[in-house]
Structure formats: C-alpha cells, structure tokens
Amino acid sequence: MVEDESCQWSSLPSDLIHFISTKLPDLSDRVRLRAVCKTWRSSISISDPSPRLPWLLTRTYNMDGNEEILYYSLSSQKTYKIYCPHLKDASFRGTFGGSIVFYRYPRSVFLFNPLTRLEISVSLSPPKYFDAIEVASNPFRKEFAVVLGCTQDSTCAISFGFIKPDDGLWVIHESGLVNNWCDCVYYEGKYYINEYGAETRIMSATTGEVVSTIPSPDQTGFNKIECQYMLETCGEILLIYRHKIAGKMKQYVFDIYRLDEARGDYQWVKIRGIGDRMLFLNSTGGFSVSASDFPGFRGNCIYFQAADLPSHNYMLLRQHDLENGTTKILPNFWGGCGTWIIPNFG
C-alpha cells in the first residue's frame, strides 16, 4: 500500500506540481518540495518569477567568533542560519534583487547572494574619501542606486551615484548637502532627498540639478517622531513617520504621506492606508508587496523592527495594522537591526 502511494505522488503531472509550487509563498518551501524526488525537482524551477515573501536578514556571531547571517521567514515564522565567516569585516547597506549590498572599508562595495553564496564586486569610483554608503533603490527595480557619504577637508558632503547593471557605468553627483541628510530614494532618473526636520529635494540623477523643493509635512501636535522612512512603492514616493504612544511600550502610530504633483507643484498629501499593500521597512526605507499574492496575509499592514527600550541592542519584529491601529510582536525572531530581502537564486 505504501509503495502504491509513493508511485502516485511521484507520478503527478508536471504542470500540477509546478502549479502547487507557485502557491508556496516562501522560497525555502519550494526548495524542500524539489527535494522530494527527481520528478518533482525537474518540475519546479527555483528561478520561477512568481511572487514570494521577503526574508528579514540580520547578523550575529557564533561561539567561535565567526559570522552568521540569520534570516526570518514570515511564512514559517522561524529563524534560520547561514554561515558566512568571510563577511565578518563587511557591513549591510541594503538589498538589490536577491542580493545583499555589502560595504567593506575603505572602498569595497559588493553584492552577495546568501543562497548561492555568489559574490559580485561593484565597480565604484567615488571621490577620494568616503565613509558611508546606503542603497537608495527599490530592490525590484533594475537600476542600482546608492548614496555616498564623503569626507573631504574636514567637512562631510553627500554624493549620489547610480549604476545600471547592463552597462556597469556609474554616474556620480555632489548634492551640496552637509551632515544633515536623512533618506534618499532613486526612481526614474531622479533622487528624492529628505533632510532631517527640513524639506525634500528632487534632484536629477543625470545633471545633478535640484528641480524641486517640497516643504516637510506639518507635524504640530503629534507625538515625538521616533523614526522616519522614505521609499518608492508602486510608482509612488511615500514618507512615513513612526510615533510611539506615550506610556505604552508596544503601541505605535504611523503617519503616511504620498508625494503628489498638483498643477506642476509637488506636495506631501497624507493618506489613511495603503490598500492591498504590505510595507516592509528597513532602517530608513523599504518596499512593498501585494497581500493578495499570499493567502493568509493581510494588506494595509506595516512590518518593522523596534526595541522596547532605547538601551536595548536587540530588535523585535512587529506588524502594525493600519486599519485598527494595533501593533503585535511576531514570534521567534530575536536579533539586531536587519534588512528585508526578496530571496532568489538568480
């Protein structure tokens, strides 16, 4: 009887097996499905472009002092380990496609795929000195843009650079900003630069010209801003302020603004929700996916990390429901500040 059942499972039509695999939201589930037998492995492509849930990556060190990358799966609500001892002296700077962008002092930038272990060096020609680099691109986009923090003559000026993987050419511009930049988003040939407590500038990525300056949203009467994010999602630029409710350690309020162009002028317009989207916030920016692609998940939600107390060096993963204003802690994640990635084998 057991033999017959085994034959039946291995004899399932290839198109049916493939269809089942497309309903798995987590890439690790698809890998396990491929391991069942040769027939299933040949029927399921690990490079299938169907939607998949992001993983939250953070890093730690084992007892031997070797580097470990932890990834948290929303699907299984479990944390797994990837051993990467050679990355000990490099730091997370964001994600691009299915790779992590790493920066190694003093001038090395490279992409690393945590699944395939493939490492790709990124050709970089910044000004003579620089001490920081941040990714400014939506990980779903084809153009890889970064922000370079440069130090020259005891002043800290900010430069911007973007690269198209097809031609490998960098275009770098000085921004004129000194020591007060906050978030930057690159989208369709423009940088959207939001300064701490100041306006948002829109700068051409080809000429470096500032084409528009937008006043910051009025936050009078709100709780103190605990964190600020700016990101591009579905062709829209969003600015998000996170407030913590006084006296309540685990409750938060999010104010979301969409950059709107009305009669030729840009302005920040407050919106109440994000519809079907699930927002995944990194330390400053983030991205979104459609909840309708993942059965069992709700839209109009924000996933983010926050510590209960400023003195804590660990971050808890939380889900905030914009519809009812509640925040809950997701189980089985315990780590430092991480970054979201869409895993793939490409």
pLDDT band at 1 (very low <50, low <70, confident <90, very high): very low
Beta-strand (E) ranges in 138-251?
144-152, 155-163, 170-178, 181-187, 190-195, 200-204, 210-214, 225-233, 236-244
Over the stretch 152-162, which tens digit does the pLDDT of each residue have? Answer: 545 555 666 66
Angle subtended at Cα 87 by Cα 84 and Cα 89, rounded to the nearest 5 degrees: 145
pLDDT of residue 109: 78
Higher pLDDT, 320 or 145: 320
The partner residues of 328 in beta bridges, in order of sequence, read 319
CB atoms within 10 A of CB 330: 14
Residues 159 and 127: their CA atoms lie apart, in Å, by: 9
Mean pLDDT (whole number) for 315-329: 92
CATH architecture group of domain 51-341: 6 Propeller (2.120)
Domain extent listing, the chain: 1-50, 51-341
Tell me the pTM: 0.83
Per-residue model confidence (pLDDT) at position 104: 79
Q: What is the pLDDT of residue 90?
A: 82
- Local confidence band at 257 (pLDDT 50, 70, 90 cut-offs): very high
